[in-house]
Amino acid sequence: MILTTIEETNRFLSHTTDIGICWIWNGAIRDKYGRSSHRGKIYTSHRLSYLLYVDNIPEGYDIHHICKNKLCVNPAHLQAVSKKEHGRLDLKTHCKYGHEFTPENTYKRDNKRWCKVCASNRYK
């Protein structure tokens, strides 16, 4: 955990909105993630939240949003996972049109997936 003062913790929390489940970051945002500084160093806000309230992040680990909300900084929704595990956890379960990626409905090639229903609709 990062050592912090009450003032620094209050500053961090002043950039969040508690909606009852998630703590939504409403400070600076870049590439769909919140950004925050702490003692002169820039962090993604969810990593900083993990460091402030949970523990240190092991080298080579990512912080996974259990709630799937990239702007959430609720430490109860954050989990340190290996990069490989993070990729597996973040794997989309449905295409952008809502079709489930099942073995029967998925084309795979070069680590990419396509929805067979959407592909079929494009060719009609």
* Average pLDDT for runs of 10 along the chain of length 124: 84 89 94 92 95 93 90 95 80 77 84 83 76
Looking at the fold, whether 58 and 100 belong to one and the same domain comes out as no
**Measured distance CA(84)–CA(102) in Å, rounded:** 21
Looking at the fold, whether 67 and 109 belong to one and the same domain comes out as no
Which range of residues forms the domain containing residue 106? 92-124
Total residue length of the chain: 124
> Is position 1 within any domain?
no
Per-residue pLDDT, 90: 66
Per-residue pLDDT, 95: 79
Per-residue pLDDT, 124: 67
Per-residue pLDDT, 20: 79
Looking at the fold, whether 72 and 108 belong to one and the same domain comes out as no
Per-residue pLDDT, 71: 95
Tell me what the pLDDT averaged over the chain comes to: 88
Looking at the fold, whether 18 and 62 belong to one and the same domain comes out as yes
Contact 105, 116 (CB under 8 A): yes
Tell the residue number behind the tokens 């996972």, with chain if given: 81
Looking at the fold, whether 25 and 65 belong to one and the same domain comes out as yes
